[in-house]
Structures are given as structure tokens and as C-alpha cells.
């Protein structure tokens, strides 16, 4: 039995014996039918109750389907749920949640399974709510720059839908993730420096709570661009990683597709020079859209992977958005700043093809890193620090990598002070895996010591709960636990994550 302490109320939550029986029933062999037997009379009732809500093909006990829904793109082990359900509307989500609540079954919301922190693993078994059938774009208001989407809509699908309107949703994490999933993990992308992260771009959420209650965090259908009405419930759920409720609708802030774009690349003699340039560009008021940093190890990997010949030194990839005239000005100011900081080989392009080629190195970074050691797996770290501390943390981190003989090319959203070490390792070498794990803990603590955070965009998930406590402190964690206990007293919502 596992016990999880819940802050204020100090209750002990014990693994539901019913759940462990479910887990045993379904894990023993590949069996696609409901087993008969005394205990599984309850199982049958639950499954048949689920089926009456979302149809026969809306419930799956198949091992392959459950395994699919027990893993994401992280290195965490697959933890399949006992049952996967596929609701088609918020009414079904609510009805299913009520059943789970009555039988004390854990609920794990599932969008696209593209998370990087093990957020979808069913640590205590239970029911995975796959939301992919709820895939409508609702209520687009182009003049108001807002749209409401269901959780099955991914960011690329939304931008394709919007293409006739001249609008886009700019938050672009690496994967083609579910927008509600992005809201749940408070995701961010490469252009947060100009357009913000999910926190700044979610106006309203429809949430189903653990007991099936449906709430609208800013009021049903409301979408003012700003509000000061009551507690900010919308941003309470943004980043809650499925531990407070299931997000079934998100109202998002849209932006106009910029008239024109220019991309540029520049090499620097040192990390310090690259970061100094970044800070100065921001200080000069250049509304830069993307400013990405690649260290020399990463550039070398990209050169090999794509047969390019960028100078092997710290490099910035930049992108500017705006009208033709404003672009000229932005590029001119930036080029001057980079020159003053010792930057060289400043290359820029406006037409889509050349821009694509310039940026290909940055886009393929993940694969280029993996290609350094064929057969390896990669884990991405995610710390974020104030800009002024970035040179120091990158230098210290690189020294740590060399000292411990680890492969960790660095790519980062330097405009936000956020960088990723793509730790390339042999998954079958437990010694290396352990060394990488220790390294990531040291890195997180290094960031915390510099007034930063252990996770800029990936979330806490399974692996960073202890770091969360170090980061916000025990008192803040107690407040979080109190909120959790209020919204989900039975601890059914994605147990074992975040707290």
C-alpha cells in the first residue's frame, strides 16, 4: 500500500484495493474481454455503466490501447490505466467522472500524449479519459481575436482551421499538442518572448471536476480581453496538469499573422556575448519574435546531421515579425548590437525557402542530438533563470557535463532565460541513466539557487515533485495541497503528479 500525505487535513490515502484487483485482472495476459468472477462483478458494472454513457466503442480494455494511454514522450515507464474511455462531449465526461467518483477510481485526462514529464502515467491504475473524440473548434470571433476549442483540437489543426482568417495561435511547443493539454501543462514555445505562454493566452476554461461538476472559470461563454472579477480560477487550472480537473473547453487569445517575417543567424565567440546581445536587443525595444540559442556542441551536431557548415560556436537564431519597413529597422538594430558584442557571420533571409533553410538547424536539433549516438534516448532538461544569470548557469552546466562525461547539447529560448540540455544516453546502461539523473537534479538546484525555476515549460509531472517543494517552499506547497484537497478531496485526479 502506498500512502500520500495531504497537507492540511493530513489524511492518508490508501491505494484502493479494488483498483489493484482491476490492475491484476487486466495485466495478467492479453485479454480483451471482461473477466468473470466475484470481484469483477463490480468491474462489469463499472464498464457497463461507462458503455451506457459513451457507447460500446467508447470504452476499451484492450492492453494495446491501455499501454498507448499510459505513456507520453518522456523517459518515464509506461503505466497503463485499467480502462480507457472516449467521451464525445462534456456531458459524457461529467457522467463518467461521477461514476469514477462514486467508485473511487482515479481519473487521468489524456490529450495527445506528447508531454515530457510522465504526466499521463496511471500510477494507481484507474480510468484514462482520452479526449480525442472531442475535436471541434467552436465559437470563432475573428474581430475579437478569440476562439474556443475542445481538447481534441491540436495547435496545428487550429492554425489550419484559422488560415482563411489571417489569425493564428502562436504558442508552439515542439509537438503538435492538444491545446487543452497545453493549457494543463502551461506550455510555451519558441516565440513566448513576444506572444507569451499559455498563462497569458487562455481567457476561459470549461472544467469537469472530480465529482462531475462542470464549471466555467471565467463564466460561461465569457471572453473579455481582460477582467478583474474574482479569483483567477482560469490560471489556477492552467498548469494544474490534470490534478484539479479535466479541461473540456479552452477559450484562447488569437493574434494576427504578421505581414512579413525575417529570419537571421549569428555566431558569437562566447555564451556571454550571445546572451548580452539578447538582453540588449530586448532593451532596445526590438519586438523580436524568436531568439533561440544553440551551444557549440549542438551546432556541431546540427552541422553533421544536416551537412551544414555553421561555425562551431555559440549561435543565436532570430526571427522578426512585422511590416516590411519595421523589419528593416529591427534587423538593422539587431545586426549592430551583435557586431558590438563580437558576433560574426550575421546572415538573414526573408523568403520562406531560405528562412526555412536557415532555421532547419534549430528545428532538427532534437534529432541531431539523438544522431550523435545512434540507438540512444534523449531526455530534455528545462530550467529557466533570470536573463542576467543565464551565462553563468550555462557555463557551469557545460563544465558539469564535461566533468561527468555526459552528452548534453544545449538549445534554449534565451529571450526567456529558458534552456534545454538534450541529455543523450543509452537507456540500457543503468549507470549512465543514474549519472544523467544526478546531473539533472544538480542543474535544477543550480537554477533554483539563481532565483529561477526547475521547469520553464514542461511541468512538474512525475519526476520533479521534490524540486517543486524546494522551489516554492513548504508553506506554498501546503496552500497548493489545501486547494487540491478542496477541489479533489478523494485524490482521484491524476494521483501522484505535481504534489
Partner 1 sequence: MTGRVLVGVKRVIDYAVKIRVKPDHSGVVTDGVKHSMNPFCEIAVEEAVKLKEKKLIKEVVAISCGPQQVQETIRTALAMGADRGIHVEVSGKDYENLGPLQVSKILAALAKKEEASLVILGKQAIDDDCNQTGQMTAALLDWPQGTFASEVAVEGDKVKIVREIDGGLETIKVNMPAVVTADLRLNTPRYATLPNIMKAKKKKIANVKPQDLGVDLTSRVEVVRVDEPPQRQAGMKVETVDDLVGKLKEAGRI
Choices 157-165, 180-188, 226-234, 302-310 (CB under 8 A): range interacting with partner 1: 157-165
Q: Which is nearer to partner 1, 78 or 157 (CB)?
A: 157
Tell me which of 176, 259, 340, 429 binds partner 1, using CB under 8 A. Answer: 259
C-alpha cell at 493: 485526479
Q: Which residues contact 352 (CB under 8 A, 6 or more apart)?
A: none
Write a three-state SS string for 86-124.
CCCCHHHHHHHHHHHHHHCCCEEEECCCCCCCCCCCCEC
Q: How far is the CB of 323 from partner 1 (least distance, A)?
A: 7
DSSP string, 392-415: HHHHHHHHHHHHTT-B--EEEEGG
User: If binding is defined by CB under 8 A, does position 250 make contact with partner 1?
Assistant: no
Strand 83-85 to 127-130 pairing: parallel
Q: How far is the CB of 140 from partner 1 (least distance, A)?
A: 10
Of residues 317-336, which lie at the interface with partner 1 (CB under 8 A)? 323
Choices 17-25, 91-99, 160-168, 386-394 (CB under 8 A): range interacting with partner 1: 160-168
User: Residue 492 gets which letter from DSSP?
Assistant: -
Helix/strand/coil percent split, the chain, to 5: 40, 20, 40
Closest CA to 413 of 261, 269, 278: 278
Dihedral in degrees, nearest 10, Cα atoms 140, 143, 145, 150? -10
Q: Which is nearer to partner 1, 9 or 260 (CB)?
A: 260
Tell me which of 7, 258, 269, 482 binds partner 1, using CB under 8 A. Answer: 258
Cβ contact 342:273 at 8 Å: yes
Burial (CB < 10 A; 0-12, 13-18, 19+), residue 227, is middle
User: If binding is defined by CB under 8 A, does position 345 make contact with partner 1?
Assistant: no
Tell me which of 110, 168, 268, 359 binds partner 1, using CB under 8 A. Answer: 168
User: If binding is defined by CB under 8 A, does position 256 make contact with partner 1?
Assistant: yes
Give, in order, the Cα–Cα distances in Å from 166 to each of 51, 139, 261: 42, 16, 14
Q: How far is the CB of 478 from partner 1 (least distance, A)?
A: 46
Choices 165-173, 369-377, 398-406, 416-424 (CB under 8 A): range interacting with partner 1: 165-173
Choices 11-19, 254-262, 336-344, 472-480 (CB under 8 A): range interacting with partner 1: 254-262
Size of the site for partner 1 (CB under 8 A): 17
User: If binding is defined by CB under 8 A, does position 165 make contact with partner 1?
Assistant: yes
User: If binding is defined by CB under 8 A, does position 257 make contact with partner 1?
Assistant: yes
Binding stretches for partner 1 (CB under 8 A): 32, 157, 160-161, 163-168, 256-260, 323, 352
Amino acid at each position: 500500500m502506498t500512502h500520500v500525505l495531504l497537507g492540511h487535513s493530513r489524511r492518508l490515502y490508501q491505494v484502493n484495493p479494488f483498483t489493484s484487483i482491476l490492475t491484476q485482472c487486466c495485466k495478467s495476459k492479453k485479454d480483451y474481454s471482461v473477466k468473470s468472477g466475484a470481484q469483477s462483478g463490480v468491474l462489469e458494472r463499472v464498464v457497463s455503466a461507462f458503455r451506457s454513457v459513451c457507447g460500446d466503442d467508447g470504452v476499451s480494455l484492450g492492453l494495446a490501447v491501455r499501454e498507448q494511454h499510459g505513456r507520453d514522450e518522456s523517459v518515464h515507464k509506461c503505466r497503463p490505466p485499467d480502462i480507457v474511455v472516449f467521451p464525445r462531449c462534456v456531458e459524457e465526461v461529467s457522467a463518467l467522472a461521477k461514476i469514477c467518483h462514486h467508485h473511487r477510481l482515479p481519473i487521468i485526462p489524456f490529450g495527445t500524449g506528447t508531454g515530457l514529464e510522465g504526466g499521463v502515467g496511471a500510477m494507481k491504475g484507474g480510468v484514462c479519459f482520452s479526449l480525442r473524440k472531442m475535436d471541434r473548434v467552436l465559437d470563432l470571433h475573428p474581430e475579437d481575436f478569440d476562439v474556443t476549442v475542445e481538447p481534441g483540437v491540436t495547435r496545428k489543426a487550429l492554425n489550419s482551421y484559422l488560415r482563411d482568417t489571417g489569425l493564428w495561435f502562436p504558442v508552439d511547443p515542439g509537438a503538435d499538442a492538444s491545446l487543452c493539454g497545453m493549457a494543463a501543462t502551461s506550455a510555451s514555445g519558441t516565440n513566448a518572448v513576444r506572444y507569451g505562454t499559455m498563462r497569458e493566452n487562455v481567457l476561459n476554461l470549461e472544467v469537469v471536476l472530480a465529482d462531475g461538476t462542470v464549471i466555467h472559470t471565467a463564466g460561461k461563454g465569457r471572453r473579455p480581453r481582460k477582467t478583474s472579477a474574482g479569483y483567477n480560477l482560469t490560471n489556477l487550472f492552467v498548469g494544474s496538469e490534470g490534478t484539479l480537473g479535466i479541461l473540456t473547453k479552452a477559450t484562447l487569445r488569437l493574434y494576427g499573422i504578421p505581414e512579413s517575417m525575417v529570419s537571421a543567424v549569428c555566431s558569437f565567440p562566447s555564451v556571454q556575448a550571445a546572451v548580452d546581445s539578447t538582453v540588449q536587443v530586448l532593451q532596445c525595444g526590438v519586438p523580436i519574435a524568436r531568439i533561440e540559442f544553440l551551444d557549440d556542441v549542438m551546432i556541431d551536431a546540427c552541422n553533421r546531421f544536416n551537412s551544414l557548415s555553421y561555425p562551431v560556436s555559440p549561435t543565436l537564431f532570430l526571427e522578426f515579425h512585422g511590416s516590411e519597413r519595421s523589419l528593416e529597422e529591427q534587423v538593422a538594430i539587431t545586426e549592430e548590437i551583435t557586431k558590438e558584442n563580437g558576433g560574426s557571420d550575421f546572415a538573414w533571409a526573408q523568403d520562406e525557402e531560405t528562412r526555412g533553410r536557415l532555421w532547419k538547424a534549430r528545428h532538427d536539433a532534437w534529432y541531431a542530438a539523438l544522431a550523435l549516438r545512434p540507438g540512444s534516448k534523449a531526455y530534455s532538461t528545462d530550467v529557466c533563470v533570470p536573463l542576467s544569470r543565464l551565462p553563468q548557469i550555462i557555463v557551469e552546466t557545460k563544465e558539469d557535463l564535461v566533468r561527468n562525461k555526459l552528452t548534453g547539447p544545449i538549445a534554449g529560448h534565451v529571450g526567456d532565460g529558458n534552456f534545454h540540455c538534450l541529455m543523450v544516453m543509452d537507456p540500457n546502461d543503468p549507470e549512465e541513466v543514474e549519472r544523467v539523473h544526478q546531473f539533472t537534479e544538480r542543474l535544477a538546484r543550480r537554477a533554483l539557487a539563481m532565483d529561477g525555476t526547475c521547469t520553464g515549460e514542461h511541468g512538474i509531472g512525475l519526476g520533479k515533485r521534490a524540486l517543486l517543494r524546494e522551489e516554492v517552499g513548504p508553506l506554498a506547497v501546503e496552500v497548493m495541497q489545501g486547494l487540491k484537497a478542496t477541489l479533489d478531496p478523494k485524490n482521484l485526479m491524476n494521483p501522484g503528479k505535481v504534489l
